Amino acid sequence: MSDQMERKKRILSGIQPTGTFTLGNYIGAVRNWGSLQEDFECLYMVADLHSLTVRQEPAALRRQTREAAAMLLAAGIDPKVSLLFVQSHVPAHVQLSWILSCNTQFGELSRMTQFKDKSAKHADNVNAGLFTYPALMAADILVYNADLVPVGVDQKQHLELARNVAQRFNNLYSPTFTLPEPYIGKTGAKIMSLQEPDKKMSKSDSNANSFILMTDDADTILRKCKRAVTDSDGVVRAGDGKPGVTNLMSIYSSLTGKTFADIEKEFEGQGYGVFKEAVAGSVIDAFRPIQAEYARILADREYLDGVLKEGAAAASRIADRMVAKVYKKVGLVQL
């Protein structure tokens, strides 16, 4: 087999350190990251630059960045196998993002639903970074020539833009970037709010009962599940008109591997109370070992910072080469 055929496909993904990760982040993204390490060459990053598109308290951002990295390690990223780093520690992302911004159209960025949502939510701070965010995200991916990007459904549109920009650049100059594919799980790619199940579960939601955090203790998880909005039907079944129950079924299915048919059978003739307790139990069981590891890793600052330093150095070696190549192609003088 040639070297080319033997090369593992490369994966890149990122998560913002804007608060503790939710059950949605876990099921939709983070959970899969660890399991992909065996078959792929993986790079994972804490997207701190992206979070500056919304106002952040500096001390909190610093703390949350380390917490995010510790949580990713606790959730199964093995730094001996994969690279874990902080986005701002690899300047090549920003360097490439400028070039990509100059190859991204105003109209394309205007169509991004996340831009529309966030600019409505933060109407007093519709900054240029919020608008050009997808060009930075494209740079995150393209600077490593990533083949696959594991994300939840909400990031799919940004990924399509990254592909379009890559293709445009390749056509305009010469083949440079790999066109990245989204890698989206079959279940749980969009976990909904427990209080308003037609909305995505989000750590920035003002109602704390709408999300479960990866650091929530067992009592809190049970309480939030019990309070989850369902319907008056009383039957554990997925489908139209039952978004709350369907969402709880997605959570339970993602964490236990049971199909929707299995779940309907398991809770046949039983009320929502029993079902909600089982859902809470599956979340508690998933988080218990992660929470113990998280506390241990977070307490070991030297280890954590060491991992991030090594990750950034190794990532920079790959990314700097790409920036040099791109700068040359677009006509910037190299001395």
Binding site for ligand TYM (CB under 6 A): 12-16, 24-25, 27-29, 47, 50, 137, 140-141, 149, 151-152, 154-155, 189-191, 200-201
188 φψ region: left (φ > 0), alpha (ψ -120 to 50), beta (else): left
> Shortest Cβ distance from residue 3 to ligand TYM (Å)?
26
| Structural tokens at position 180 | 């990245």
The catalytic position among 9, 203, 258, 329 is 203
Ordered alpha helix ranges (H), the chain: 3-6, 23-25, 31-35, 48-51, 58-74, 92-101, 106-110, 113-121, 128-142, 156-172, 218-226, 243-256, 260-266, 272-299, 301-330
Closer by beta carbon to ligand TYM, 29 or else 73: 29
Strands 148-150 and 83-86: unpaired
Using CB positions, name the residue nearest to ligand TYM.
28
200 is an active site residue? yes
Whether the CB-CB separation of 224 and 209 falls below 8 Å is answered with: yes
Name the DSSP class of 14: E
> Shortest Cβ distance from residue 315 to ligand TYM (Å)?
13
> Shortest Cβ distance from residue 50 to ligand TYM (Å)?
5
Edge-first strand listing for the sheet containing 181-183: 83-86, 41-46, 10-15, 148-150, 181-183
Closer by beta carbon to ligand TYM, 29 or else 307: 29
Within 10 A of 297 (CB to CB), how many other CB atoms are there? 20
d(CA 2, CA 294): 41
Dihedral of CA atoms 62, 63, 67, 70 in degrees, nearest 10, equals: 70
Residue 142 identity (one-letter amino acid): L
The catalytic position among 8, 9, 116, 118 is 118
Q: Indicate the burial class of 108 (C-beta count within 10 angstroms; 0-12, 13-18, 19 or more).
A: middle
118 is an active site residue? yes
Closer by beta carbon to ligand TYM, 83 or else 149: 149
Closer by beta carbon to ligand TYM, 183 or else 267: 183
| Structural tokens at position 184 | 């989206």
203 is an active site residue? yes
Closer by beta carbon to ligand TYM, 8 or else 199: 199
> Shortest Cβ distance from residue 261 to ligand TYM (Å)?
22
The catalytic position among 190, 200, 242, 276 is 200
Closer by beta carbon to ligand TYM, 227 or else 296: 227
Q: Roughly what angle, to the nearest 10 degrees, separates helices 156-172 and 128-142?
A: 70
> Shortest Cβ distance from residue 116 to ligand TYM (Å)?
15
> Shortest Cβ distance from residue 18 to ligand TYM (Å)?
7
> Shortest Cβ distance from residue 253 to ligand TYM (Å)?
13
Closer by beta carbon to ligand TYM, 19 or else 269: 19
- Using the CB atoms, write b or e for 243-271: b if 16+ within 10 Å: bbbbbbbbbbbbbbebebeebeeebeeee
Residues identified as active-site: 118, 200, 203
